[in-house]
Chains A and B, each alone.
Chain A
Amino acid sequence: MATLRSYALPFIGALALHTLVVLAFMQGVSGTDEVAQVITPTVVNAKLMLVEPPQAAPPSPVKPRAQAPKPAPKPVEKKAPAQPAAESKAKDTSPTAEEVAQAASAERQRKEAEAQRRRERLAALGELADDSLQRSLDAEAQQMQDDLSQQQVSSYQAGIYDLVRKNWSRPPSARNGMQARFVVELIPTGEVLSVALVDSSGNAAFDRAAEQAIRRARRFAVPTDNTLFEQNFRRFYFLFRPEDLLR
């Protein structure tokens, strides 16, 4: 027992030490995360904020709020005290049971009307809020989708670029500053349909080598998503520019 007890304190100490390490780690990790968050997503967030709320959200909820309260409570409040005051002045002493009942029913009606109005207003506000929220969510999703497809497109473009570069054997007459532009047409499987020279570099050998490079690639990896393909890869320009020569 005594030996067991001698381990209790060290055990607690060891556990405490490990929890401390884990906590320190969490702190450190969250610290770096904050930095990372500040750097990257601000651009995206700023776009969303600027585009969405000023258009839809702020003006529309403000208007009903401003309009509704003015007509609703004030006249009612004024009327209510005025009537009993006048009646009591005229008949002076005895407020009969009828009058009391009338006052009570008037009061009730007024309350009901108010509640009804409030309910309607709340419903309208809720709809508005739902609507703008939904719209901003949609916009965000759209934005994300766009980002994603942009990424995909650029990665496919990089793939095409790599493939062509691999197949390109530059002629010895190629010089820095030469530039040849081609229009490339693909079919949805990625096979090259046609290659046409648009802007010549002025050097026939260079143009021919560049065209050969595209033709030799024969088939490129293209997105399976049809709209992406149609938008970006059905027909695109390819620019040859040997800038890295004579390095």
Chain B
Amino acid sequence: MNEPLSVFELIANASLLVQGVMGLLVLASVVSWMMILQRWNLLRRAKQEINSFEDHFWSGIDLRGLYQELSEEEQLNGIEGIFVAGFREYTRLSEQPGVDADAIMQGVQRAMRVALMREEARLETHLPFLATVGSTSPYIGLFGTVWGIMNSFRSLANMTQATLASVAPGISEALIATAMGLFAAIPAVIGYNRFSANVDVLMKRYEGFCDEVSSILHRAAHARPNVGDEV
């Protein structure tokens, strides 16, 4: 009678719908944390890669050598993938006779843009999920709470004497759902904001790098036609 209510007892005694809501929220929280950790790892690695690759790239290395070195690797992600896509297109087009410099540059830019898009998609996967969890889970929790409070008040109506002790457990139980919703939502929103900002920064750097590569290739392509004509 005077036993203090444990949260787990409250959850166990909750109605089926409220329990379902709680289960859904726990699931959403676990999955969103999984996404957050995975994204965090991936973006951190992408940033490291771009830093080291830019150092390598501007260290005066021969681009053809760099391309051959990279194209042997199986999976290319991030900035390396963009560079390889552009340079591959350049070598293919420049090997063909009768392709002028502008056409080469158009092809190179198109290839790099495709790689850039693919990269953006890769970086942004799961971010919509985080946004969804962040924006809806408070409402889901609120739904559970409202439902629980509704029931506890309805049972109050059937009692002859209304005491606070007869409603309090129901309300307390119902409020757990809101707490869970907030618990799921807050990290998801923070993660979403942080990661989308990170993705923006990375994309800006990729675009800058694309422009730099295409300007180098542009120079090379416009130097080349004379050679091609001669051959």
Contacts and interface: CB of A to CB of B under 8 A. Distances in A.
A joins B in a complex? yes
Is chain B's interface secondary structure helix, strand, loop, or mixed overall?
A: helix
B38 A29 contact: no
B73 to A, nearest CB: 13
Contacts of B8: 26
B197 interface: no
Interface stretch (B27-35, B141-149, B211-219): B27-35
B163 interface: yes
Contacts of B35: 10
B160 interface: yes
B4 A10 contact: no
B161 A36 contact: no
Contacts of B41: 6, 9-10
B120 to A, nearest CB: 17
B161 A17 contact: no
A144 B161 contact: no
B156 to A, nearest CB: 15
Given A29-B7, A33-B6, A14 B1 contact: no
B171 interface: no
A224 to B, nearest CB: 10
Interface residues of A, number: 30
Interface string B1-31: 1101011100000000000000000100111
A41 interface: yes
Interface string A1-23: 01000110111011101100100
Interface residues of B, number: 23
A192 B60 CA distance: 106
B163 A155 contact: yes
Nearest to A44: B2
A25 interface: yes
Interface string A120-148: 00000000000000000000000010011
Given A7-B34, A10-B35, A13-B37, A159 B29 contact: no
A40 interface: yes
B33 A14 contact: yes
Contacts of A14: 30-31, 33-34, 36-37
A9 B37 CA distance: 9
B103 interface: no
Contact of B34 (A2, A10, A29, A144): A10
Contacts of B33: 10, 13-14, 17-18
Contacts of B38: 6-7, 10
B42 interface: yes
B160 A18 contact: no
Contacts of A148: 1
A13 B29 CA distance: 12
A37 B7 contact: no
A154 to B, nearest CB: 11
Contacts of A25: 7
28 contacts: A6-B38, A6-B42, A7-B34, A7-B38, A9-B37, A10-B34, A10-B35, A13-B37, A14-B31, A14-B34, A15-B30, A17-B33, A18-B26, A18-B30, A25-B7, A32-B4, A37-B4, A40-B2, A41-B2, A44-B2, A144-B1, A147-B1, A148-B1, A155-B161, A156-B161, A159-B161, A221-B160, A221-B161
Task: Across the A-B interface, give the 4 residue pairs with the lowest CB-CB distance, nearest first.
Answer: A10-B37, A14-B33, A10-B38, A14-B34
Interface of B: 1-2, 4, 6-8, 26, 29-31, 33-38, 41-42, 75, 160-161, 163, 183
Given A21-B183, A37-B4, 19 more contacts: A7-B38, A10-B35, A10-B41, A11-B34, A13-B33, A13-B34, A13-B37, A14-B30, A14-B33, A14-B34, A18-B33, A25-B7, A30-B6, A44-B2, A147-B1, A148-B1, A156-B161, A159-B161, A221-B160
